[in-house]
Amino acid sequence: MRKYSNQEVHPEARRVIKYNLLWCNNDNAEILSDKNIFTLKTGHPVIITSRHFHQLRSVEGELTALEFTLEFFSKSDSDIQPIFHNGLFCHLGMNEIIRVYN
């Protein structure tokens, strides 16, 4: 887990071989992912699937980043399919903001 606060965080986009969940704790954050810019508001997460380019462009307030390896989700090759059907990482090439309502 990493926390980012009130800063511009990455000068260049990067590709990570991990599954990422980025959560805006308060204020807002701007994230570039595969040519899409996401503006997160307080309480909104975005999912970045493995091997996608992404860049944390700015954080006002606080952002929490969680990174998971494929091994976290599956113990063998036969367990891989559920990761794409669990509702988080099923977007097959698309990253999206998940709306959280109180």
Domain extents for the chain? 2-97
* 1-16: pLDDT as tens digits: 889 899 767 778 888 8
* 26-67: pLDDT as tens digits: 999 999 988 889 899 999 888 888 888 889 999 999 999 999
The reported pTM is 0.78
pLDDT band at 24 (very low <50, low <70, confident <90, very high): very high
Pairing mode, if any, of strands 36-41 and 45-48?
A: unpaired
Q: What is the percent of the chain with per-residue pLDDT over 70, rounded to a whole number?
A: 75
Asked whether residue 91 carries a pLDDT value surpassing 70, the answer given is no
Backbone angles phi, psi at 9, to 5 degrees: -110, -35
> What topology does CATH give the domain 2-97?
Jelly Rolls (2.60.120)
Strands (E), the chain: 2-7, 14-15, 19-33, 36-41, 45-48, 53-68, 96-97
- Whole-number average pLDDT of the chain: 81
